[in-house]
Amino acid sequence: MASKAPKPDLATLQKKAEARALNFFYGKKQALKNITLPVFDRRVTALIGPSGCGKSTFLRCFNRMHDLYPGNRYDGEIRFFPDDLNLLGADVDPIEVRMRLAMVFQKPNPFPKSIFENVAYGLRIRGVKQRSLLMDKVEEALSSAALWNEVKDRLDEQANNLSGGQQQRLCIARALASEPEMLLFDEPTSALDPIATASIEELIHQLKDKVTILIVTHNMQQAARVSDFTAYMYLGDLIEFGWTDDVFFRPTNKQTEDYITGRFG
Amino acid sequence: MNSTPTRDLVQVRSMIAAHKRRDIAFAVLGFAALTLCFVTFVALFVDMLVDGASRLTADFFTSFASRRAGQAGILAAWVGTFLLMLVTAAVAVPIGVASGLYLEEYAPRNRFTAIIEININNLAGVPSIVYGLLALGMFVHTFGLGASVLTAGLTLGLLILPIVIVATRESIRAVPGMIREAAYALGATRWQMVRHHVLPYSMPGILTGVIIGLSRAIGETAPIVTIGAVTFIAFLPPAPLTAAPPFVSFEWLLSPFTAMPIQIFNWTSRPEVAFQQNASAAALVLVGMTLLMNAIAIWLRYRLRRNLKW
Maximum separation of any 2 CA atoms in chain A, in Å = 56
Q: What is the DSSP string of B133-153?
A: HHHIIIIIIIS---SBHHHHH
Neighboring chain B residues of A65 at a CB cutoff of 8 Å = 181, 184-185
A251 Cα to chain B: minimum distance (Å): 34
Q: What is the dihedral of CA B239, B244, B245, B251, to 10 degrees?
A: -30
φ and ψ at residue A103, rounded to 5 degrees: -135, 140
Q: What percent of chain A has pLDDT over 90?
A: 85
Helix axes A164-176, A194-207, angle to 10 degrees: 20
Note the pLDDT tens digit of each residue in A12-53.
899 999 999 999 999 999 999 999 999 999 999 999 999 889
Phi-psi region of A187 (alpha: psi -120 to 50; beta: other; left: phi over 0): left
Q: Cα–Cα distance between B230 and B247 in angstroms, integer? A: 28
CB atoms within 10 A of CB A83: 7
| Partner-chain contact A109 B201, CB within 8 Å | no
Looking at domain A14-109+183-260, which of 3.90.1660.10, 3.10.180.10, 3.40.50.300, 3.40.50.1110 is its CATH number? 3.40.50.300
Instruction: Report yes or no: A109 at the B interface, CB cutoff 8 Å.
Output: yes
| Partner-chain contact A178 B176, CB within 8 Å | no
Q: Cα–Cα distance between A123 and A130 in angstroms, integer? A: 10
Give the dihedral sign, CA A133/A138/A140/A141.
positive
Report yes or no: A43 and A229 within 8 Å, Cβ to Cβ: yes
Query: What confidence score (pLDDT) does residue B255 get?
Result: 85
Q: Cα–Cα distance between A214 and A241 in angstroms, integer? A: 13
Instruction: Report yes or no: A56 at the B interface, CB cutoff 8 Å.
Output: no
Neighboring chain B residues of A95 at a CB cutoff of 8 Å = 187-189
Report yes or no: A32 and A73 within 8 Å, Cβ to Cβ: no
The answer, as to whether pTM is greater than 0.90, is: no
Residue B53 is which amino acid? Answer: A
Residue A22 host element (H or E):
strand A15-26
Note the pLDDT tens digit of each residue in A180-227.
999 999 999 998 899 989 999 999 999 999 999 999 998 889 999 999
pLDDT band at A1 (very low <50, low <70, confident <90, very high): very low
Instruction: Report yes or no: B181 at the A interface, CB cutoff 8 Å.
Output: yes
Third-level CATH fold of B56-305: MetI-like fold (1.10.3720)
Per-domain residue ranges for chain B?
7-53, 56-305
Report yes or no: B215 and B294 within 8 Å, Cβ to Cβ: yes
Question: Could you list the pLDDT tens digit for every one of the 310 residues in chain B?
Answer: 555 656 788 889 999 999 999 999 999 999 999 999 999 999 998 998 988 888 888 888 888 888 887 888 889 889 989 999 999 999 999 999 999 999 999 998 889 989 998 999 898 889 999 999 999 999 988 998 888 899 999 999 999 999 999 999 999 999 999 999 999 999 999 999 999 999 999 999 999 899 989 999 998 988 998 888 777 777 788 777 777 767 777 778 888 888 999 999 989 888 888 898 999 999 999 999 999 988 988 888 888 887 777 6
Residues in chain A: 265
Residue A265 has pLDDT above 70, yes or no: no
Task: Please name which of A229, A209, A253, A159 lies closest in space to residue A2, comparing C-alpha atoms.
Answer: A229
Query: What confidence score (pLDDT) does residue B6 get?
Result: 65
Report yes or no: B236 and B79 within 8 Å, Cβ to Cβ: yes
| Partner-chain contact B187 A98, CB within 8 Å | yes
- 3 state DSSP class of A174: helix
Q: Cα–Cα distance between B262 and B268 in angstroms, integer? A: 10
Instruction: Report yes or no: A137 at the B interface, CB cutoff 8 Å.
Output: no
Mean pLDDT of chain A: 93
Q: Which of B186, B197, B201 sits opposite A122 (nearest CB)?
A: B186
Note the pLDDT tens digit of each residue in A30-41.
999 999 999 999
Instruction: Report yes or no: B250 at the A interface, CB cutoff 8 Å.
Output: no
Measured between CA atoms, the residue of chain A closest to residue B105 is: A68
Q: Cα–Cα distance between B213 and B294 in angstroms, integer? A: 11
Name which of A68, A99, A181 to mutate to probe chain B: the one with the most chain B Cβ atoms within 10 A of its Cβ: A68
Instruction: Report yes or no: B134 at the A interface, CB cutoff 8 Å.
Output: no
Mean pLDDT, residues A170-176: 96
Residue B57 is which amino acid? Answer: T
Report yes or no: B185 and B285 within 8 Å, Cβ to Cβ: no
B193 Cα to chain A: minimum distance (Å): 10
Q: How far is CA B136 from CA A166, B88, B119, B237, in A?
A: 60, 16, 22, 21
